[in-house]
Amino acid sequence: MKKLLVAVVLLVTTMMSAQKGSILLGGNVGFGSEKIGDDKYENFEFSPKVGYQFTDKWTLGVEGSVLNYKESGSKREEAYRVGAFTRYSVPLSDLFSFYTDLGVGYQERSIDKTKGVYASLTPALFINMKNGFGLNFNIGGIGYDNLSGKGIAREQRFGFNFGQSVNFGISKNFGL
């Protein structure tokens, strides 16, 4: 029993939850490949975030995203996003936290030279692993896109995709 108590105390003290005055560094990496008959589709996405946690529950920061998409027989498309995000976190225990990210920003696609804005609201679960490292899980969210370009019809999208996708990410909190 004494060993278990010591192990629990050591585990809790080494697991640094996000705290006021810390820097959040995180993001997602994704890859997809699909083949239908002779057609092949591939995509790769990298989405980093950097934020400052100014209270125990609120973080404000910048986010970005780079997406490469290739369909057989066509040009490679690239899409970029850069914006700001705010995160509200609710600790459920020393190990788990629930959070919601609200992101807004600018986006651009290379293949049709469209530009515009985006907004997203994503609830997620954070699992605190060790020394401020954690895993982030979400199963979708709410998104809005508005894109337009010279000679291109305006695209406006609103999406609600809870349960239709699963995303995993990693993050690290650095105390100041």
pLDDT per residue as tens digits for the range 140-174: 899 999 999 888 889 999 999 887 778 889 999 88
Q: Look at residues 168, 161, 10, 157 and name the one whose alpha carbon lies nearest to residue 94.
A: 10
pLDDT class for 117, splitting at 50, 70, 90?
A: very high
Q: How far apart are alpha carbons 96 and 115 in whole angstroms?
A: 38
Predicted confidence at residue 166, as pLDDT, reads 81
Location of structure tokens 């092949």: 40
Domains of the chain: 2-175 (2.40.160.20)
CA torsion, ordered 10, 14, 15, 19, to nearest 10 deg: 130
